């Protein structure tokens, strides 16, 4: 594994010192002793319709003055039972359900689902498909982190980074659109390959994006990383130790901000991630600020990964050459009897799976995204399709993180967890 | 049509119906060479009969079936023993195969120390859907077990806060991910509408809440007052 800690002090305000201690708060604390007042706890309700909850999340808080004593999250407002719906669909039909969960990074979900089913069936996808999927996943990691960046900055009152981030997101939307025909509901993967190969000129568009995106990222760094208001609002807020973070099920940037070196791409590599040259940022304090820095650095690393993936993009077919898995071309299906039969069987029956189960984890933008599929012998539909939702588990920690902080910090903590309710409620 | 509604309602009154247990439930498979995974070999050696089966799935994924009555003992050993140290509970879920076969609770574990994954499954017969909670070992299991309880009706003994999580608290139709639960729900759309219209509003609000007007300050004071007096069961409403 080796040492792979990235220096997170880059861009920090020199006043802070690099000893790892949180900077001074810009506002000096009052020395006046607080008068002994008898107060009673108050219940307040945040959400489910509130912009700072980043979706339909309801938080019931018990407050002592402005201090949070207890938070009880209520979820389920977006529940559509995708897992149940999946049991009534063939393997390929489920792909459209996956991107509706994490609509902030849909391609990662498409790829993770296809990978788990392929692993269950023992299908080895082509080299080109592997690299294309790596491109898709890294592109959507940037896509997901940019939304988090913009909305989180708004929560602490910084409006400009939101505009910068969404301008870049719009460019990724356009890449989505030319790749899949849709901006959010991409449904790009199929079992054994992709819906379509990369369109002509797409790689050049992506290169163009990669050329200018780091400049925008630098500008956002300059707006936020050393910003005293941002530092005051995030440093020391919602801190969690590495041991607790593992026990509470944190994954992804949230876990790594607490100093735990766990990244699915490094520790359980898939799609030759071990051959790419990239680093995984590890935080120290586990607070909101370190989570911010980890995600910022991850975007830089994703750009590196994308450059390498484009450079090694091999030619050749994108779908596996097996008529029982991949659809024949439309021309073949209309002119060749055998292809037509395969087409008919694939559409009406689907792909038979062997008996067994398969849990496949990928590093999603929010954390470890697991897809668990269970099949019976020859089943063309799953007996059970389960998503291990990273933000669901991450959100469950909010009660612990927010305890003892102010209500305004609760908003920041909630934002720093990077949740998406479509995936939490499923 | 009327008959359909009636039977659906009866089914709800009766709760989840345990289908007839299959005669001589199929034993868990024992395939694959367990010595290839250190934890599987150690489990068999240490717990013997409590390990009901093991299997190698999807190329490199080990599944171990254990006796649900000893599950807590076994998983806590897997977590505490330094040779195994599964400190990360990635996922807790369940699988219902339908047809009266047992519901299986599935634990996906990962050791950040040894970089190893292991999947533990426990077979629970439909007439005894109960298993010990692992919440005391992994806090991550808290919401995951609540979800299994909500969607499969498996009770976790010793869970600190076993409530429904995705479905509404007062959901009457059972546990949606069970195979005996129809895709569109147990109630017809008309029945769902009827129930919604006939809902007792006072279940959510006290009569005095509904009559209350005045300034927000007065309303807040009255709410706190009724909480104090213990009139409400659930302080959050």
What values do phi and psi take at A169, rounded to 5?
-60, -40
Model confidence at A5: pLDDT above 50:
no
Mean pLDDT of the region B3-28: 49
pTM of structure: 0.83
Domain end point (choices B135, B157, B179): B157
Protein fold of A74-323+354-425: Cytochrome-c3 Hydrogenase; chain B (1.10.645)
Report the number of distinct structural domains present in chain B.
Answer: 2
Q: Which CATH number does the domain housing residue B60 bear?
A: 3.30.460.80
Is the pLDDT assigned to residue B20 strictly greater than 50? no
By Cβ distance, the residue of A120, A244, A384 closest to B95 is A384
Angle, in degrees to the nearest 10, between helices B2-14 and B189-197: 70
CA-wise closest residue to A122 among B184, B56, B72 = B56
Same domain, B87 and B44: yes
Say what the pLDDT of residue A349 is: 87
A256-315 pLDDT, tens digit each: 999 888 889 888 888 988 899 999 999 888 888 999 999 999 999 999 999 999 999 998
Residue B237 forms part of a structural domain: no
Residue B122: in which H helix or E strand, if any?
A: strand B116-124
Residues B132 and B218 in one domain: no
B interface mutation test: which of A44, A119, A121, A246 has the most B CBs within 10 A? Answer: A246
Q: Quick check: A268 and B117 CB within 8 A?
A: yes
- Of the candidates B139, B157, B175, which is a domain's last residue? B157
Asked if the structure places residue B171 within a domain, the reply is no
Q: Could you report the per-residue pLDDT of A240-258, keeping only the tens digit for each?
A: 888 889 999 899 999 999 9
Whether the CB-CB separation of A306 and A139 falls below 8 Å is answered with yes
More confident call, A36 vs B197: B197
- Cβ–Cβ below 8 Å for B106 and A372: yes
- Nearest CA to A55 out of A403, A407, A399, A392 is that of A392
Please indicate, yes or no, if residue B24 is contained in any of the structural domains.
yes
Question: In the prediction, which pLDDT does A11 show?
Answer: 44
pLDDT at A10: 43
The beta-carbon neighbor of A359 closest among B61, B87, B168 is B61
Q: Are both B109 and B222 inside the same structural domain? A: no
Q: Which of A282-286, A346-350, A352-356, B169-173 has the lowest mean pLDDT?
A: B169-173
Q: pLDDT averaged over chain A?
A: 86
Asked if A82 is an interface residue toward chain B (Cβ–Cβ < 8 A), one would say no
Q: Outline where chain B has alpha helix (H).
A: 2-14, 38-47, 71-80, 141-152, 189-197, 201-204, 207-211, 216-228
pLDDT reported for residue A145: 93
Question: Do B198 and B146 have their domain in common?
Answer: no
Average pLDDT over residues A363-391: 90
Report, as an integer, the average pLDDT of A8-17: 48
The SS3 of residue A425 is helix
Separation CA B210–CA A250 (nearest Å): 42
Rounded Cα distance between B147 and A393, Å, is 11
CA angle A292, A297, A303 (to 5 degrees): 135
Residues 127-156 of B with CB under 8 A from A: 138-144, 147, 151
Residue A29: pLDDT over 70: no
Distance, in Å, from the CA atom of B101 to the CA atom of B125, rounded to the nearest integer, reads: 7
A45 within 8 A of A60, measured Cβ to Cβ: yes
Contacting residues of B for A425, CB less than 8 Å apart: 166
- Strands A384-388 and B51-57 come out as unpaired
**Any B CB within 8 A of A43 CB:** yes
B216 and B126 in a common domain = no
- What is the arithmetic mean of pLDDT over A190-207? 90
Domain boundaries, chain A: 74-323+354-425
Cβ separation of B95 and A119 shorter than 8 Å? no
| pLDDT at residue number B42 | 86
Read off the pLDDT of residues B158-173 as tens digits, 9 standing for 90 and up.
Answer: 888 888 899 888 788 8
Give the domain range for residue B112.
Answer: 16-157
Query: Percentage of chain B surpassing pLDDT 90?
Result: 15
Contact (Cβ atoms closer than 8 angstroms) between residue A86 and residue A80? no
CB contact under 8 A, A372 and B167: no
Report which of residues B11 and A369 the model is more confident about.
A369
Q: What is the pLDDT of residue A45?
A: 87
Residue B5 lies in a domain: no
Mean pLDDT of A374-394: 90
- As beta bridge partners, residue B185 has none
Any domain includes B126: yes
Q: Which of B56, B116, B139 to mutate to test the interface with A (most CBs of A within 10 A)?
A: B139
Predicted local confidence at residue A111, as pLDDT: 93
Whether residue A25 contacts residue A41, with contact meaning beta carbons closer than 8 Å, is answered with no
CB distance B132 to B72 below 8 Å: yes
- Per cent of chain A over pLDDT 90 is 36
Give residue A232's pLDDT. Answer: 85
**Alpha-carbon gap, residue A252 to A247, rounded angstroms:** 14
Does A246 touch chain B if contact means CB atoms closer than 8 Å? yes
| Residue of B33, B83, B42 lying closest to B66 (CA atoms) | B42
Residue B220 maps to a domain: yes
Tokens of A157: 């009152």
Q: Is the pLDDT of residue A161 over 50?
A: yes
Which one of B157, B177, B210 terminates a domain? B157
Length of chain A: 426
Verify that B153 and B197 share a domain, yes or no: no
pLDDT at position B26 is 58
Residue B234 lies in a domain: no
Judge if B29 and B110 occupy the same domain: yes
Interface ipTM above 0.90:
no
A-chain CB neighbours of B151 within 8 Å are: 83
Average pLDDT, rounded, for chain B: 78
How many C-beta atoms surround the C-beta of residue A353 within 10 A? 24
Whether the pLDDT of residue A396 is over 60: the answer is: yes
* CB interface of A with B, residues 120-149, below 8 Å: 120, 122
**Do B113 and B201 lie in a common domain?**
no
> For residue A18, is pLDDT > 80?
no
The single residue listed with the structure tokens 């708060």 is A25
Of B55, B96, B140, Cβ closest to residue A249: B140
């Amino acid at each position: 594994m080796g040492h792979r800690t990235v220096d997170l002090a880059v861009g920090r305000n020199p006043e802070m010192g690099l000893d790892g201690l949180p900077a001074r708060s810009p506002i000096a604390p009052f020395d006046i002793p607080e008068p002994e007042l008898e107060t009673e706890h108050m219940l307040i309700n945040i959400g489910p319709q509130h912009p700072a909850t980043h979706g339909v999340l309801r938080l019931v808080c018990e407050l002592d003055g402005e201090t949070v004593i207890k938070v009880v999250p209520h979820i389920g407002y977006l529940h559509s039972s995708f897992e149940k719906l999946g049991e009534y669909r063939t393997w390929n039909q489920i792909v459209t359900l996956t991107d509706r969960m994490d609509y902030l990074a849909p391609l990662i979900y498409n790829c993770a689902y296809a990978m788990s089913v392929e692993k269950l069936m023992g299908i080895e996808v082509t080299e080109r498909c592997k690299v294309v999927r790596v491109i898709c996943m890294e592109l959507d990691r940037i896509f997901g982190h940019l939304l988090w960046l913009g909305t989180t900055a708004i929560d602490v009152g910084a409006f400009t980074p939101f505009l910068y981030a969404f301008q870049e997101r719009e460019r990724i939307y356009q890449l989505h659109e030319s790749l899949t025909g849709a901006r959010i509901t991409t449904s790009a993967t199929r079992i054994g390959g992709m819906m379509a190969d990369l369109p002509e000129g797409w790689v050049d568009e992506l290169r163009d994006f990669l050329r200018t995106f780091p400049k925008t990222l630098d500008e956002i760094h300059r707006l936020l990383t050393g910003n005293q208001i941002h530092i005051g609002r995030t440093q020391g807020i919602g801190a969690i130790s590495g041991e607790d973070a593992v026990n509470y099920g944190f994954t992804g940037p949230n876990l790594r901000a607490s100093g735990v070196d766990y990244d699915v791409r490094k520790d359980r590599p898939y799609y030759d991630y071990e051959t790419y040259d990239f680093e995984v940022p590890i935080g120290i304090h586990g607070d909101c600020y370190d989570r911010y820095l980890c995600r910022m650095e991850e975007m830089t690393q994703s750009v590196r990964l994308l450059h390498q993936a484009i450079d090694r993009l091999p030619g050749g077919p994108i779908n596996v050459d097996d008529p029982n898995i991949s659809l024949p071309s439309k021309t073949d299906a209309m002119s060749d009897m055998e292809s037509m039969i395969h087409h008919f069987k694939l559409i009406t029956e689907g792909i038979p799976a062997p008996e067994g189960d398969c849990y496949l984890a990928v590093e999603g933008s929010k954390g470890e995204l697991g897809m668990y599929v269970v099949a019976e012998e020859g089943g063309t539909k799953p007996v059970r399709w389960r998503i291990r939702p990273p933000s669901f588990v991450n959100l469950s920690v909010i009660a612990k993180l927010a305890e003892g902080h102010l209500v305004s910090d609760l908003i920041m903590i909630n934002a720093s967890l990077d949740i998406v309710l479509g995936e939490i409620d499923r | 049509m009327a008959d359909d509604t009636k039977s659906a309602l009866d089914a709800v009154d009766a709760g989840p119906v345990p289908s007839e247990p299959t005669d001589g439930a199929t034993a868990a498979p024992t395939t694959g060479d367990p010595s290839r995974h250190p934890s599987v070999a150690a489990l068999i050696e240490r717990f013997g009969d409590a390990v009901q089966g093991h299997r190698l799935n999807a190329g490199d994924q080990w599944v171990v079936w254990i006796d649900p009555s000893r599950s807590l003992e076994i998983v806590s050993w897997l977590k505490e023993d330094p040779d195994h140290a599964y400190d990360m509970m990635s996922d807790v879920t369940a699988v219902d195969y339908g047809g009266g076969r047992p519901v299986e609770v599935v634990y996906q574990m990962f050791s950040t120390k040894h970089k190893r994954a292991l999947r533990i499954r426990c077979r629970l017969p439909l007439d005894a859907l109960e298993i010990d909670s692992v919440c005391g070992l992994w806090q991550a299991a808290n919401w995951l077990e609540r979800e299994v309880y909500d969607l499969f009706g498996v009770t976790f003994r010793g869970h600190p806060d076993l409530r429904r999580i995705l479905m509404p608290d007062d959901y009457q139709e059972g546990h949606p991910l069970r195979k005996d639960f129809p895709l569109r729900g147990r109630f017809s759309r008309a029945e769902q509408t009827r129930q919604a219209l006939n809902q007792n509003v006072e279940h959510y609000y006290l009569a005095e809440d509904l009559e209350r007007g005045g300034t927000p300050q007065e309303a807040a004071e009255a709410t706190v007052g009724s909480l104090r007096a213990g009139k409400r069961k659930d302080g959050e409403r």
